[in-house]
Amino acid sequence: MKKQTFFKVMAMLLLVAGLGMQAMAQAKDPIEGLWYNAEKTAKINIFKATDGKFWGEIVWLKEPNVNGKPRTDVNNTTAAKRTRPIMKLQILRHFEKDGAKTYDNGEIYDPKNGKTYDCKITHKGTSLSVRGYVGISMIGRTTTWQRAE
């Protein structure tokens, strides 16, 4: 084999191997990305953090302002947190993947009432079943979130 041909073949192999590794590194979990809440009043971006757990933050609000000012966390049970903006607020925390479609051991914050609940998420294609509860999962409420574009 000629020296020039050998270098071309090696360069192609390195390129293909590099692209394959990059594609593997960029593979996302099915729940990552944008989701509408049940009322479609907010979009939540779910992402995998550096600790390997899944988090979610509000990145869009149908009504981002109240009286010309950014909407804040007015219902929070902690008075010091009532002035923090709802936009970019982390409402999903610490979720661990538990099987192919279930994410557990997390918590969800509800800005409507200022409370935090234990939570379990089940991925169902273009929807998520989000179950918030106190203590045991049997006593709680489930909402359905839809994939946002």
Query: Number of C-alpha atoms within 13 angstroms, CB side, residue 76?
Result: 16
- Name the residue type at position 108: I
Residue 107 scores a pLDDT above 70: yes
147: exposed, middle or buried (Cβ count in 10 Å: 0-12, 13-18, 19+): middle
Residue 33 scores a pLDDT above 80: yes
Residue 19 scores a pLDDT above 80: no
Domain 31-147 matching CATH 3.20.20.450: the answer reads: no
**Residue-range domain boundaries for the chain:** 1-28, 31-147
What is the reported pTM?
Answer: 0.81
pLDDT one-digit tens code per residue, 53-101: 999 999 999 999 999 999 999 999 999 999 999 999 999 999 999 999 9
Higher pLDDT, 7 or 144: 144
Give, for 14, the enclosing helix (H) or strand (E): helix 3-25
